[in-house]
Amino acid sequence: MTTLHVLGSGSSGNALAIQSQDEILLIDAGFSAREMERRAALAGLDLRRAIGLVLTHEHGDHTTGAARLCQKLRIPILTAPGTWDRLRPRMPTVPFVPLALLGATELGGFTITACATSHDAAEPVAVSVRTAHGHRVAVAYDLGRPTTAVRYLLREAHAIVLEANHDEVLLRTSSYPPVVQERIAGSGGHLSNRAAAELLADVAHAGLEAVVLAHLSERCNTADHARAEVLPALAGHATALHVARQDGPLDAIVISAPPRFL
């Protein structure tokens, strides 16, 4: 059995955890180390079982607690070399494991595959994690457009955490100045609800057990807008649709795909 814990996701912080057997792999630490520990406790996670932290890119809403947490738990950071170059001055004592883009990186019972994304960061990545149980959990947020590599990464996943950052109408009618609106909607920005729906329609399959819509804008989106746009893309599939919260963790998402989907 594989369990996905979404500890929080939105404009102010992002953090996930994947648990398989007795091991935990963290993905992003966009809250303080203390807040990460608090949210993990709420989710019933024992962070002493963590064996590594994957960072998708260097922005603060994904890395705020990374240095302190890794030092306390004595675990390495796994990220792209370009991201590590930006982070290294703040993390001189944290071990670093480079992620192989579109190649496998092994850590404990986890196999991590990463690909580059289109975002205004040093070397941002989306990741797919295969657990010891054979389940695949894919995470793709902070991407302005879904590239061919991202589509390939999401295929055959049993659970997908996907950005649905903004509703296009709410963005255009928001108080953001035009230059900020263009940055958010551009190829180096964030994925809209509509773009997320189109991507999911392409990659959805019978073995996709859960989709989590993540990184929702507090100004330019709502859970209702995101659900309404994305739900039709999953029609015909028995896929549970969740929307991540900024203020706390979701209930644990248990993945238990039958052998024919592994």
Q: What is the pLDDT of residues 188-214, one digit of tens each?
A: 999 999 999 999 999 999 999 999 999
* 3-class DSSP assignment, residue 165: coil
Q: What is the pLDDT of residues 114-145, one digit of tens each?
A: 999 999 899 999 999 999 999 999 999 999 99
d(CA 121, CA 55) in angstroms, rounded, equals: 12
Domain ranges, ordered by start, for the chain: 2-255
Q: What is the pLDDT of residues 19-33, one digit of tens each?
A: 999 999 999 999 999
pTM of the model: 0.96
> Which residue is associated with the tokens 């990184």?
215
Largest CA distance in the chain: 51
Q: In the structure encoding, which two tokens stand for residue 125, read together?
A: 């990545």
Q: Is residue 112 within 8 Å of 105, Cβ to Cβ? A: yes
Element (H, E) at 63: helix 60-63
- Domain 2-255 class? alpha beta
